[in-house]
Amino acid sequence: MNKTLAWMSWKFLFSRKALFGGSAPLALLGLIFGVALLVVSMAVMSGFERTLRDAMADVTGHAQVVKRSRFLDDPVELEERIKKVEPTLLGAVKYTFIEAVVARQGQISGILIQGIDRDRMDDVLNFSSRVDSGKVDISVQDENKPGAMIGKGLAKRMNLQVGDVFNVVIPIAESSDPSSFQRRVGQFRVTAILDLGKFEWNERFVVTDLKAAQDFAKIGEGYTGLLLKFKDIEHARDAAYHISQVLGSPYWVRDWRDSNESLFQAVEIERPVIFFVVSIIVIVAALNISSTLFVNVVQRYNDISILKTVGFTPRQILQLFSAQGVMIGALGLLGGFILGFILCALFAWLQQSLNLVAGSVYKIEGIHLQIRFIDSVAICVATLVICFLATLMPARRGSKLSPVEGLRYG
């Protein structure tokens, strides 16, 4: 389309007979709301996936290597073997998991103690971005009490603050009689309260130094496995598969996605479904725009006849009115994205104020909305194509009008 046609289409659109007349404003408003809802719905879906992924990466690394027994090979040698398979490996840290019970002020709660080698913890994990209060410190505190970072749900339920001491109880099998157990009690001091991103982690997780966890559970130098970090988190699945193939059956390797596979698959399935369902609003708005342009074509019979008389071809008339639909779509996109950003900001504020996302239901207690570039492109393409197709019929009606008929109606 040349500049003259574009200018004429713009002038025709911004007139009382078109955009500012009849039901056109309502049709445009419907399109804006449809695009805004698409923006918000895609931001929520992408944000849910990103929030859960970041939580997994920050707390348990990009991948985990576990052996069938607690006692692994030499960790330095094992890390070198892994690095030969995956040169993208940035770091590895030893860890262990211990199930226990916390007791305080007459209340008890089951917990999971994660012991981490504090010297290499920051190479793989990112607890500093998860701190609600306190500081990242799992060294031995005063009175020889190991420092511990706990989830905010556990802190609230057990009424714990930074600096408080809490008791932890675990059963240990008797060496002489494995069927008998003795109770072992340890004390830890809270150094930080964390928002770990997942509801069950906030309710159960206690992070402490690996040596303190080993001494408390009397497992010597034993540990559960290695937490790994790669250059690219999206490469973690392929990397975990390659490592698993090389290390063999004694080892179990899983990436950040494995433990929540069902949730991530649900997001992948629901995203296109929600996009299609919400797109129906855009389609309805486009049909309203189509009816408005039909009226506009009828009202411009005289103008169309004059244009054909001075040499405009049916193809140029078709382009003239089709461009109006694309322009309306562009206006709807602009207004929809602005409204969508406002609604996303409102959602984030309401989420903080009213706790809209129930952690016990959605597994996470907050969604960091994310508007992905690919989602924005999909929304733009879908909206413009729908608006263009909706305007083809009235545009064809105008292009087929004969000059004599148009002058008679004029």
Q: Residue 228 is inside which H or E element, if any?
A: strand 225-230
Q: Tell me, what DSSP letter sits at residue 145?
A: P
What's the pLDDT at 121? 92
What's the pLDDT at 231? 92
What's the pLDDT at 403? 59
Q: Answer whether 254's CB lies under 8 Å from 64's CB.
A: yes
What's the pLDDT at 14? 62
What's the rounded Cα separation, in Å, for the pair 353 and 373?
28
Domain spans, the chain: 3-55+262-409, 62-255
What's the pLDDT at 173? 66
What's the pLDDT at 11? 63
Output the tens digit of pLDDT for each of the chain's 410 residues: 566 666 666 666 666 555 555 566 777 888 888 899 999 999 988 888 888 888 888 998 999 998 876 666 678 888 888 888 889 999 999 999 889 999 887 788 889 999 999 889 999 999 998 999 999 989 887 778 899 999 999 998 899 999 899 999 888 766 665 666 778 888 999 999 999 888 888 989 999 999 999 888 888 888 888 999 999 998 888 999 889 888 887 888 999 888 778 778 888 888 888 888 888 888 888 887 777 777 666 666 666 666 666 667 777 777 777 777 778 888 889 999 999 999 999 988 887 777 666 655 566 777 888 888 998 999 999 888 888 888 777 777 766 666 555 555 55
Beta strands of 45-180 (E only): which ranges? 63-67, 89-104, 107-116, 131-134, 147-151, 165-173
What's the pLDDT at 329? 82
What's the pLDDT at 125? 93
> Exposure pattern of 321-330 as b/e (b: 16+ CB <10 Å)?
bbbbbbbbbe
3-state secondary structure of 396: helix
Q: Residue 225 is inside which H or E element, if any?
A: strand 225-230
Q: Residue 53 is inside which H or E element, if any?
A: helix 24-60
Structure tokens of 217?
């559970």
